[in-house]
């Protein structure tokens, strides 16, 4: 049994070091090559639109997005582009009152001469991918731009991305991805932490990939696709929960590539609650695993993809969570079992090196992203950074389970991330429709397990080693409490609101019956 434990622990440790190696290479590669990275597009002199600008189709996929639907449709209708070269499709699969909310706005925009169509399917086959593919059958536009419901593109997005950008001068460029920015970053500590985490992807990872000829991926929104590239890659497919990652790599497999412009921003909404963020991460983790299962073998066999290990690493980014989970479950037993001193000290040395290297790499990457994004290094940033580390540690169980399920399960149900929006969102909660997911029971079991390990390590005289277990207890305990608060807070508020008239009447009655002097 001890040999099996050591062997499994050794394999998990090696996997962790391999993952860390890719992370360190990304960070050092960015630092070494930052001086010759493209600052963004190199636009020609600005002026009036040139003759013969390409036709563009803007697609806005919606599903029960009443909180944000008006804002995103109004934003895409305000895009600066020749009216005769622009088509807009609102692909509305909603089953609630979103269509009736949108109808007056779309009618008004059509009366102004804007070519916007409100399209509804009878059945939601293929989820978002199915809606996008269905919309393409009704348009022959040369380029396709996609904005999810929680994105608000600036009016010059198409002008800068299609007309002024030189990205599509290369016929092998399949798409141009813009950079996400965050409208509600300052809403709470969770949104500030997420902004730092996402900036690492858009401010460090993508520029590094772009400068070094690595495969760039489409992020599902705020991007412009060449229509012929979508067709060449086989079109949108709904057999994974990450249709954007799937199509990106199918483009790469046929010799096409992506481009990225850090200076092409688009405002988005960050999930403001723990339940919404957890749902989003669960979908992304499951979807990337499905893409890895679907395309991993083709990537390794392909002669058109040059950096195969890095592409598999990029596609399997969430694999770090199963590695971390296995590591945290196994390593306390190395200290508790009666192993020879050589094995014990070797395991502790590896654990220390992995922990220090991992944390230094992660913190350095997040700080670098913050600096590149123009953030000031102050107490607020450090607080958000610390919270990002806590949230990342706490979500380990949720994303590990989702990734492992995705390795064996097909697309399953596409669960949308609830939105809160701006003015419309004031009438509709961003927590609407959220439920506790069954993974919370595994998180509770992990919390109990790590509490037990803390007790055993302290009792065995390894109080210093118990600190790591205690960190997991605190972070996962916080996550569970936050989920319960998110789930029941709207109900508590609703109950109080219903009771308020009754309480007011009781108070008035009590006042009226008080004896008077």
Cβ–Cβ under 8 Å, residues 81 and 114:
no
| pLDDT, tens digit (0-9, with 9 covering 90-100), for 13-69 | 888 888 888 888 888 888 887 765 554 444 444 444 455 689 999 999 999 988 899
Tell me what the mean pLDDT of segment 235-245 comes to: 92
User: What's the pLDDT at 440?
Assistant: 92
Whether residue 503 has pLDDT greater than 70: no
Per-residue pLDDT band for 504 (boundaries 50, 70, 90) equals: low
Other beta carbons within 10 angstroms of residue 444's beta carbon come to 14
Looking at per-residue pLDDT, the higher value among 316 and 108 belongs to 108
User: What's the pLDDT at 35?
Assistant: 60
Percent of the chain clearing pLDDT 90 (strictly above): 46
Other beta carbons within 10 angstroms of residue 496's beta carbon come to 10
Per-residue pLDDT band for 332 (boundaries 50, 70, 90) equals: confident
User: What's the pLDDT at 422?
Assistant: 61
Looking at per-residue pLDDT, the higher value among 170 and 4 belongs to 170
User: What's the pLDDT at 247?
Assistant: 96
Whether residue 104 has pLDDT greater than 90: yes
- φ/ψ of 88, rounded to 5, equals -125, 130
Whether residue 496 has pLDDT greater than 70: no
Is position 465 within any domain? no
Measured distance CA(468)–CA(474) in Å, rounded = 10
Looking at per-residue pLDDT, the higher value among 410 and 320 belongs to 320
Is position 84 within any domain? yes
Is position 191 within any domain? yes
User: Which of 232, 235, 256, 219 is closest to 129 using CA atoms?
Assistant: 235
Whether residue 343 has pLDDT greater than 90: no
Is position 16 within any domain? no
DSSP string, 184-252: TTTSSHHHHHHHHHHHIIIIIIHHHHHHTTPPP---SSSEEEEHHHHHHTT----SSS-HHHHHHHHHH
Which residues are catalytically annotated?
93, 244
Measured distance CA(285)–CA(315) in Å, rounded = 10
Other beta carbons within 10 angstroms of residue 284's beta carbon come to 21
Measured distance CA(392)–CA(399) in Å, rounded = 10
User: What's the pLDDT at 151?
Assistant: 95
Is position 458 within any domain? no
Per-residue pLDDT band for 12 (boundaries 50, 70, 90) equals: confident
CA angle 444, 197, 420 (to 5 degrees): 75
Looking at per-residue pLDDT, the higher value among 309 and 476 belongs to 476
Is position 153 within any domain? yes
Residues 6+ apart with CB under 8 A from 420: 67, 68, 184, 269, 272, 428, 429, 430
Residue carrying the six token digits 């198409």: 158
Encoded tokens for 279:
């749902």
The domain of 146 spans 54-271
Whether residue 109 has pLDDT greater than 80: yes
| pLDDT, tens digit (0-9, with 9 covering 90-100), for 158-181 | 999 999 988 999 999 999 999 999
User: What's the pLDDT at 420?
Assistant: 72
- Specify the DSSP class assigned to residue 27: H
Whether residue 186 has pLDDT greater than 70: yes
CA angle 428, 195, 251 (to 5 degrees): 95
Looking at per-residue pLDDT, the higher value among 38 and 373 belongs to 373
Per-residue pLDDT band for 463 (boundaries 50, 70, 90) equals: confident
| pLDDT, tens digit (0-9, with 9 covering 90-100), for 115-145 | 999 999 988 888 899 999 999 999 999 999 9
Per-residue pLDDT band for 419 (boundaries 50, 70, 90) equals: confident
- Specify the DSSP class assigned to residue 55: P
The CATH number of the domain holding residue 67 is 3.90.550.10
User: What's the pLDDT at 423?
Assistant: 43
Domain count, the chain: 1
DSSP string, 412-435: ----PPP---STGGGGS-TTTT--
Tell me what the mean pLDDT of segment 284-300 comes to: 91
Tell me what the mean pLDDT of segment 256-281 comes to: 92
Residue carrying the six token digits 């670098």: 368
User: What's the pLDDT at 417?
Assistant: 76
Per-residue pLDDT band for 505 (boundaries 50, 70, 90) equals: low
- φ/ψ of 147, rounded to 5, equals -130, 120
What does the mean pLDDT of the chain come to? 84
Is position 82 within any domain? yes
Exposed, middle or buried, 287 (CB in 10 Å: 0-12/13-18/19+)?
A: buried
Whether residue 10 has pLDDT greater than 60: yes
Residue 224, strand partner residues: 145, 176
Is position 489 within any domain? no
Cβ–Cβ under 8 Å, residues 414 and 283:
yes
Tell me what the mean pLDDT of segment 297-303 comes to: 87
Q: Where are the beta strands (DSSP E) in 55-214?
A: 56-62, 86-92, 116-119, 143-146, 151-152, 173-182
User: What's the pLDDT at 464?
Assistant: 82
User: What's the pLDDT at 45?
Assistant: 43
| pLDDT, tens digit (0-9, with 9 covering 90-100), for 204-225 | 999 988 888 888 999 999 999 9
Per-residue pLDDT band for 1 (boundaries 50, 70, 90) equals: low
User: What's the pLDDT at 404?
Assistant: 93
pTM: 0.86
- φ/ψ of 145, rounded to 5, equals -115, 135
């Amino acid at each position: 049994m001890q040999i099996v434990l050591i062997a499994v622990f050794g394999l998990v440790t090696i996997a962790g070091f391999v993952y860390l190696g890719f992370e360190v290479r990304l960070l050092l590669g960015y630092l070494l090559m930052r001086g010759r990275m493209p600052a963004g597009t190199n636009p020609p002199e600005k002026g009036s639109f040139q003759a013969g600008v390409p036709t563009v189709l803007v697609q806005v996929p919606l599903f029960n997005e009443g909180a944000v639907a008006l804002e995103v449709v109004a934003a895409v209708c305000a895009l600066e582009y020749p009216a005769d070269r622009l088509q807009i499709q609102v692909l509305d699969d909603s089953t609630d009152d979103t269509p009736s909310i949108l109808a007056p706005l779309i009618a008004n925009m059509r009366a102004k001469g804007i070519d916007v169509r409100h399209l509804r399917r009878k059945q939601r086959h293929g989820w978002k991918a199915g809606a996008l593919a269905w919309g393409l059958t009704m348009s022959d536009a040369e380029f396709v731009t996609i904005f999810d419901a929680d994105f608000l593109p600036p009016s010059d997005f198409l002008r800068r991305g299609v007309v002024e950008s030189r990205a599509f001068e290369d016929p092998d460029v399949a798409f141009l991805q813009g950079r996400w920015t965050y409208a509600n970053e300052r809403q709470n500590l969770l949104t500030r932490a997420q902004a730092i985490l996402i900036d690492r992807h858009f401010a460090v990872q993508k520029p590094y990939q772009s400068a070094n000829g690595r495969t760039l991926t489409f992020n599902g929104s705020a991007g412009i696709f060449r229509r012929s590239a979508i067709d060449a890659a086989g079109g949108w497919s709904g057999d994974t929960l990450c249709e954007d990652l799937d199509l990106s790599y199918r483009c790469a497999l046929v010799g096409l590539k992506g481009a990225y412009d850090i200076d092409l921003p688009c405002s988005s909404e960050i999930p403001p609650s723990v339940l919404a963020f957890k749902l989003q991460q669960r979908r992304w983790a499951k979807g990337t695993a499905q893409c890895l299962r679907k395309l991993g073998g083709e990537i390794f066999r392909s002669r058109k993809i040059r950096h195969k290990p890095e592409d598999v690493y990029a596609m399997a980014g969430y694999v770090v969570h199963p590695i971390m989970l296995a590591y945290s479950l196994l390593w306390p037993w190395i200290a508790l079992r009666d192993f020879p001193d050589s094995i014990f000290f070797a395991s502790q040395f590896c654990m220390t090196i992995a922990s220090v290297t991992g944390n230094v790499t992660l913190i350095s990457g997040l700080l670098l992203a913050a600096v590149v994004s123009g953030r000031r290094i102050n107490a607020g940033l450090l607080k958000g950074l610390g919270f990002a580390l806590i949230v990342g540690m706490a979500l380990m169980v949720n994303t590990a389970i989702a990734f492992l399920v995705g390795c064996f399960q097909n697309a399953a149900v596409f669960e949308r991330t609830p939105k809160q929006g701006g003015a419309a969102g004031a009438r509709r909660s961003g927590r609407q429709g959220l439920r506790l997911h069954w993974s919370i029971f595994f998180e509770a079991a992990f919390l109990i397990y790590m509490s037990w390990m803390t007790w055993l390590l302290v009792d065995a005289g390894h109080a210093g080693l118990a600190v790591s277990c205690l960190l997991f207890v605190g972070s996962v305990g916080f996550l569970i409490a936050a989920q319960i608060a998110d789930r029941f807070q709207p109900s508590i508020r609703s109950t109080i609101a219903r009771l308020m008239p009754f309480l007011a009447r009781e108070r008035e009655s009590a006042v009226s019956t008080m004896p008077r002097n």
